Copies of this chain bind each other. A is one copy, B any other.
Amino acid sequence: MPPAPAHDDYLERNADRHVAELRAFLSIPSVSALAAHRPDVLAAADWLADRLRAIGVPEVALLPTGAGPVVTGHWSVPGQPTALIYGHYDVQPADPLDLWETSPFAPTLRDGRLFARGASDDKGALLAALNGIEALIKTDGAPPIGLAFFLEGEEEIGSPSLPDLVHAERERLACDFVVSADGGMYGREMPSLTVATKGLAGCQIDLRTAATDLHSGQFGAAVPNAARSISQLVASLHDADGRVAVAGFYDRVRDLTAEERAEIAAVPFDEAAYLAGIGAPAAWGEPGFSPLERAFARPTLDVNGIWSGFQGEGAKTVTPASAHAKLTCRLVPDQDPDEILDLIERHVAGHQPTGAEARIVRHPGSARPFAIRRDHPALVTAGATLRDLYGRDPLVIRLGGTLPVAEIFQRELGADMVFFAWEMPDTQLHAPNEFIALSDFRLSARAYAAYLPALAR
């Protein structure tokens, strides 16, 4: 269904005001990670609640959390499905400040790009969605489908309140599906549908070989060395080819179908450019899969850190007595985080280096993998909307990262999430000089004004 001209006209007429509002929103330094910015986080929540009211959304409320409150609102439309609009108004810290060309909280327009922390992630992407919704309401008097809002203020600190809050408020949040205004396209002129995000399970290995660090001349020849032992143990977690060697790790992984492999093969991927972009001399990982297949759809076991013994200048002839390694796994359907940690614990118990005592401490914050079924009506409609907007079929992509919220909404509300947002890979998300292209800001609003009516029965 092509975008309705009336909605587009509305967006054209209000384009300058929408940019002015984005500037105002971006000027509030709502950094959730820093206690000093707590008043700014609250101010951003108030600003956003006012914005929802101005659009005409009823029942706007702030649900308190340990950090920034969740901004909610609700507009039922009889006979129509309800979409829960998800986004967040908190932003990453702006450090390192000296790498910003202009101040991160003084939005600055250069060459059609508005530079500020949060310009894309997620203030820009979220306001674009609200602008599309505003165009529908102001033009038609009501939204085409029911709308609920869940706009949080602690996404950049891992949404610690979210699981309990969604569980407690599941009636208020009742919906048929979730539309996320936080998400990205594979590239400019590369419309894409995100159909899966990976789960996460993490732990730390603590290994000990003696009571205290020892003199290597007195003891190094006779007793185990913790730094060597942890190396042996960590090296045992993968086989020589790069496959995870933890027994049972792949047991529940759904095989990629021929269709899925074709889908991934259709996504443009220049391995040489990808490697050059990060300064990596070679790709690495599970054999039998392309780098993109691995990044999209295969589970990993990542060593996030390792440390033992002396790290200072020069030499110290010590035989370390303790050593540590941090691990996280990225999981795909149908892996279970707790079961994966059980398998790692069993592996560590079965691969204890001689004279070493290694134990596992599980990290909180596990997440299950998320996937939406390909025939989900909201996903199919999103694909059709993108096809209309761009004149081509969207790519089907998956996130190698983890968005616990998708799986939490699925579990608590029975609602699948459709990612419908335009954060572009070049927009310096989480980095200095983050920006949004105003063309993407406008395109995204037009897309929402086209997408939501298409979801009506």
Interface residues of chain A, those whose CB is within 8 Å of chain B, are: 198, 200, 202, 209-212, 214-225, 227-228, 230-232, 234-235, 237-238, 242, 274-275, 278-286, 291-292, 294-295, 298, 300, 302-311, 314-321, 323-326, 328, 330, 354-357, 363, 365, 399-402
Assess A307 versus B306: contact at CB under 8 Å? Given A217-B198, A285-B222: yes
Note all chain B residues with C-beta closer than 8 A to A274. 222
Note all chain B residues with C-beta closer than 8 A to A325. 227, 231
Docked-complex contact A303 and B365, CB < 8 angstroms: no
Point out the residue from B280, B298, B310 that lies within 8 Å of A304, measured CB to CB: B310
Q: List 26 A-B contacts (CB under 8 A).
A: A216-B300, A217-B400, A217-B401, A220-B302, A221-B285, A222-B285, A222-B291, A222-B292, A223-B284, A223-B285, A224-B282, A224-B284, A228-B237, A228-B238, A230-B306, A231-B303, A281-B357, A302-B317, A303-B309, A304-B310, A306-B306, A306-B307, A306-B308, A311-B326, A314-B363, A317-B328
Assess A225 versus B307: contact at CB under 8 Å? Given A232-B235, A281-B357: no
Docked-complex contact B298 and A320, CB < 8 angstroms: no
Note all chain B residues with C-beta closer than 8 A to A321. 279
Docked-complex contact B220 and A355, CB < 8 angstroms: no
Note all chain B residues with C-beta closer than 8 A to A210. 278-280
Chain B residue with the shortest CB-CB distance to A240: B232
Note all chain B residues with C-beta closer than 8 A to A402. 217, 317
A248 → chain B, closest Cβ, in Å? 19
Note all chain B residues with C-beta closer than 8 A to A306. 227, 230-231, 306-309, 323
Docked-complex contact A278 and B219, CB < 8 angstroms: yes
How many identical subunits does the complex contain? 2
Point out the residue from B237, B279, B294 that lies within 8 Å of A221, measured CB to CB: B294
The CA of A318 and the CA of B303, in the complex, are separated in Å by 8
The CA of A316 and the CA of B279, in the complex, are separated in Å by 21
The CA of A319 and the CA of B315, in the complex, are separated in Å by 27
Docked-complex contact A280 and B223, CB < 8 angstroms: yes
Note all chain B residues with C-beta closer than 8 A to A295. 218-219, 221-222
Point out the residue from B209, B234, B284 that lies within 8 Å of A231, measured CB to CB: B234
Chain B residue with the shortest CB-CB distance to A223: B280
The CA of A235 and the CA of B305, in the complex, are separated in Å by 16
Docked-complex contact A294 and B222, CB < 8 angstroms: yes
Note all chain B residues with C-beta closer than 8 A to A298. 221
Point out the residue from B209, B223, B302, B309 that lies within 8 Å of A225, measured CB to CB: B302
Docked-complex contact A307 and B311, CB < 8 angstroms: yes
The CA of A231 and the CA of B327, in the complex, are separated in Å by 13
Note all chain B residues with C-beta closer than 8 A to A320. 303-305
Note all chain B residues with C-beta closer than 8 A to A291. 221-223
Chain B residue with the shortest CB-CB distance to A355: B282
The CA of A292 and the CA of B300, in the complex, are separated in Å by 43
Note all chain B residues with C-beta closer than 8 A to A365. 315
Max chain B Cβ within 10 angstroms of own Cβ: one of A210, A222, A306: A222
Which 10 A/B pairs are nearest by Cβ-Cβ distance? A211-B279, A217-B401, A305-B309, A282-B355, A231-B234, A221-B294, A305-B310, A222-B291, A227-B303, A224-B284
